[in-house]
Amino acid sequence: MADAKAQDFKNHAKFDPKFHFFLMPVALATFIWRVSVAVTHFDSENAWLAIVSLAFLIAIFTTRNYSLKVQDRVIRLEEQLRMHRLLPQALQARIGELSEKQLIALRFAPDAELAGLVEKTLAGNWDNKTIKQNIVKWRADYFRV
């Protein structure tokens, strides 16, 4: 899938307009509004609506977090399979030492750079930002939620 602009470290974060620009602001505004009404005109109905709006806000964030966690698990599995295919035997034995965040960051590394980046990551205990900053030729991931 080709996007209009090539993906790199500076622009790889993805915004979901439905979540970031509609659901989240509406849920947050509703919660703030219902709490302010419950505080200024306290009765059981307004208190209940404030609680329901909080539940709605929590549900939206929980649903988003669940889908991201599942996605991260799939990426972790994909990267472990790719590493077993591409890494030399000595590095294959150390795949288990990589954290979930490191595996997820390494998905942006092209096949040719993977072994070197894995070796440097293990030697320096690099975090995901450092891994991404050290990728020379970015391998785009346009399927991220």
In a domain? residue 10: no
In a domain? residue 1: no
In a domain? residue 8: no
Tell me which amino acid residue 42 is: F
Q: How far apart are CA 120 and CA 101, in angstroms?
A: 15
Which range of residues forms the domain containing residue 104? 17-133
Tally of structural domains, the chain = 1
State the DSSP H helix or E strand holding residue 73, giving kind and residue range, or none if neither. Answer: helix 44-86
pTM above 0.85, yes or no: no
The predicted structure's pLDDT at residue 4: 53
- How far CA 29 is from CA of 35, 42, 59, in Å, comes to 10, 19, 15
Tell me which amino acid residue 109 is: A
- State the SS3 of 103-117: HHHHCCCCHHHHHHH
Q: How far apart are CA 101 and CA 98, in angstroms?
A: 8
In a domain? residue 140: no
In a domain? residue 89: yes
Query: pLDDT (tens digit, 0 to 9) for every residue of the chain, 145 residues total?
Result: 554 578 888 778 878 899 999 999 999 999 999 999 999 999 999 999 999 999 999 999 999 999 999 999 999 999 999 999 999 999 999 999 999 999 999 999 999 999 999 999 999 999 999 999 999 999 988 887 7
The predicted structure's pLDDT at residue 10: 79
The predicted structure's pLDDT at residue 11: 79
In a domain? residue 141: no
The predicted structure's pLDDT at residue 37: 98
Q: Phi-psi category of 2—alpha, beta or left, where left has phi over 0 and alpha has psi -120 to 50? A: beta
In a domain? residue 11: no
Tell me which amino acid residue 112 is: A
The predicted structure's pLDDT at residue 142: 84
In a domain? residue 9: no
